[in-house]
Structure 1
Amino acid sequence: MEDINWIQIGIGVLGGGAFGALINQYFHHRRNKVQPIGRNIELKSFFNATDNSSMSTQISITGTTEEHKFTNIFTASIQLINKGNSDFEEFDFGITLPESIKAIKILKDSADRHHQINLNNEPTLENQINEFDITLKPFNRKDVYDIDLQLTSENGEIKEGDIVCGTSHSIKFVDIVSPTEKALEIAKSVAIGPMIISLNKY
């Protein structure tokens, strides 16, 4: 018993197949668990005649073929952050609105030519819709995408809960609950936007 080198035996056990299998199982579980996608929605009234019941006001916007009149327009700023540990070559998700709310325009902020935002059915003045799908290419860890929607409502009201994001990916949307957390997530992004690049230089 005195000649047994327990340290070498311990190293052999730790370096053996059993320990390696445990490590592989840990990383397999980590890669395949449901991934969190940070989501922040900010809704602002750009124009809403119902804010003052004594006024009957409309705003006119000229489209491609005709003029369109609205009594209210809201801007919904949607930000998505990949908070998980998996990269998505393509991330597909959809936005669904109630029947009384229509999207009339979308503003896509792709940080650079290597990050794309594609739509299967783009809302426009001539194509006012309440559901459409978006593809982010790619959506890697810590990537940030910003999308602005212009919306109008039949009853003049829109709540943040009216804007529903859904996807078939194995993820869960988690709210970015505070401006501080939002700023920290953006600061950790390594590939999006000149501001982040300049911060990393100093």
Structure 2
Amino acid sequence: MSEFHWSTILIISLIVIGSGITGALIQRAISTFKKRTQTIGRRVDIFPSFDDTLGTLCHSTDIKISDGTTEYRYKELHIVQIQLTNQGNYSYDDFKFGISLSEDNLAVYIEAQVPNRHHQVEQLTPVSFSEPKSQIDLLLRPLNKKGTYTLRLLILVPEGSKETGEIQFSSPLDIEFVHLPTATEVLEEAVRSTNISFGPFSVSFPK
């Protein structure tokens, strides 16, 4: 009876110890998973310049913009749309990040499009027509898992330049910005993968 009693205690003790070790390993695995580098998808769509869009409809190549009190004239102005999507498994109450334009590119206006009134975009770097910037810090509050924010920028480029330079993204957080296909790239891929039947012929666009 005594042997049965002690063997039972030994088995129970081993089960308890094993369960504790298993629980610790599971907790460690969960913690490691949460601490891994998070990924933020970023899409940058650059729309045609006003000059390219309007073409010969405008006699003047100058673009005049008014903020209600002052008029500003520009030669080369582009609309750039930036979309950020949290692809990680972690939600951020405050997500701070920065946008760096090419040295000779300047943002003169930023507009944020948020899902609802409970989402906010705070410009940590003031940007205006009278105070353009090439380096801009912003705060997204919050950035939940699978959450998306959209920003639109008016970017001034040097006269004679038809394209904006490369846009860099950075953050003090342990995250990695990954490329998301632009609207143009998605459309091009759709066209390349399209087959059109025309009578006895099949027309496709080679990749």
Q: TM-score range by the shorter chain?
A: 0.7 to 0.9
Name which of 110, 119, 126 aligns with 1:122: 126
1:1-202 pair list within 5 angstroms:
12=15, 16-48=19-51, 57-155=61-159, 156-159=161-164, 162-177=166-181
Match of 1:74, SS state, is strand
Q: CA deviation at 1:71?
A: 1.1
Match of 1:125, SS state, is coil
**d(CA) in 2 for partners of 1:46, 1:124:** 19
Q: CA deviation at 1:110?
A: 1.5
**Contact preservation (8 Å) 2:95, 2:142:** yes
**Contact preservation (8 Å) 1:41, 1:77:** yes
Q: CA deviation at 1:157?
A: 3.4
Task: State the number of aligned residues.
Answer: 172
**d(CA) in 1 for partners of 2:32, 2:62:** 55
| Matched AA of 2:101 | L
| Matched AA of 1:177 | P
Q: CA deviation at 1:63?
A: 3.1
**Contact preservation (8 Å) 2:44, 2:182:** no
**d(CA) in 2 for partners of 1:102, 1:67:** 18
Q: RMSD of the alignment, in Å?
A: 2.9
Q: CA deviation at 1:96?
A: 1.0
**Contact preservation (8 Å) 1:36, 1:174:** yes
Cα distance change, pair 140–14 in 1 and its aligned pair in 2 (3 A): farther
Q: CA deviation at 1:97?
A: 1.1
Q: CA deviation at 1:69?
A: 1.0
Q: Greater Rg, structure 1 or structure 2? A: 2
Match of 2:50, SS state, is strand
TM-score (structure 2 length as normaliser): 0.73
Q: Can you give the 5+ residue segments of structure 1 that lack an aligned partner in the other structure?
A: 183-202
**d(CA) in 1 for partners of 2:16, 2:82:** 51
Cα distance change, pair 72–84 in 1 and its aligned pair in 2 (3 A): same
Identity, in percent, stands at 29
Cα distance change, pair 44–139 in 1 and its aligned pair in 2 (3 A): same
**Contact preservation (8 Å) 2:43, 2:182:** no
**d(CA) in 1 for partners of 2:122, 2:167:** 19
Q: Can you give the 5+ residue segments of structure 2 that lack an aligned partner in the other structure?
A: 1-6, 187-207
Match of 1:16, SS state, is helix
Q: CA deviation at 1:34?
A: 0.4
